[in-house]
Amino acid sequence: MEFISVEDLMVPLEEYATVKEDDTLFDAVMALEAAQQKRNVEKHPFMHRAVLVLDDRGEVVGKIGHIDVLRALEPRYKDFGDTKSIARAGFSPQFIRSMMDNYHLCDSSLVDMCSKGARIKVKEFMYSPEEGEKVDAEASLCEAIHQFVMTGMHLGLLVVKEGKIVGILRRTDVFMTVFGLMKECEIKEESKK
């Protein structure tokens, strides 16, 4: 079987949606829309699901995913601290609902929340990637799969080459590659019979 590297499958940084730290959520939405329209559909058929945040030097310092955008719409979510830990704690649906009522979350209309949220600066709600979310460009796809499985939470890994982030390896692209290889192997097995 041929060697597939992370770099072979990643979406290069220049093809991904990016914004600066001082841009707004609206800017991020527009950057994501623009990146969707110009993406290489042949190589990456699935839509991008995040926006990368760059500092003034053009270095990736953050990431905005779907949940980050939704969290930004209600500023009081900051009062809860690490909501990922809360999610893993296994609270009942009734308890989660009571939090919403007790903290008066989502008291304004969704239109108002979106209007206010659109003006929030990206640096106020972006997620700063941890070391476990990075993978070397030269690493094998098998190494990346291991990293996805062991961390379980990331939809994409930032790809690093010579100390710089050069792209993103999306879990969906990895899955489609694995799926394609499975089909290819099965077809070869069937033709041997």
User: Measured between alpha carbons, how far is residue 149 from residues 59, 65, 145, 154, 168 in Å?
Assistant: 27, 19, 6, 9, 17
d(CA 156, CA 137) in angstroms, rounded, equals 13
User: Measured between alpha carbons, how far is residue 183 from residues 72, 172, 174, 190 in Å?
Assistant: 41, 16, 14, 10
CB atoms under 10 Å from CB of 150, counted, come to: 8
* φ, ψ dihedrals at 62, nearest 5°: -165, 175
Contact 125, 73 (CB under 8 A): no
What is the model's pLDDT at position 19? 97
What is the model's pLDDT at position 88? 64
Contact 162, 29 (CB under 8 A): no
What is the model's pLDDT at position 8? 93
What is the model's pLDDT at position 81? 64
DSSP string covering 38-100, please? HS-TTT--SPP-EEEEE-TTS-EEEEEEHHHHHHHTSGGGGGG--HHHHHHTT--HHHHHHHH
What is the model's pLDDT at position 123? 94
Instruction: Give the full edge-to-edge strand order of the sheet including 134-136.
Output: 11-12, 164-170, 156-161, 134-136
Report how far Cα 158 is from the mean position of its chain's Cα atoms.
9
- Residues of the chain whose pLDDT is less than 50? 1
Identity of the amino acid at 76: R
Reference 133, options 81, 71, 54, 60; nearest CA is 60
Q: pLDDT digit string (tens) for 27-72?
A: 999 999 998 888 877 777 778 889 999 999 999 999 998 888 888 8
Report the SS3 class of residue 135.
strand
Reference 12, options 175, 179, 170; nearest CA is 170
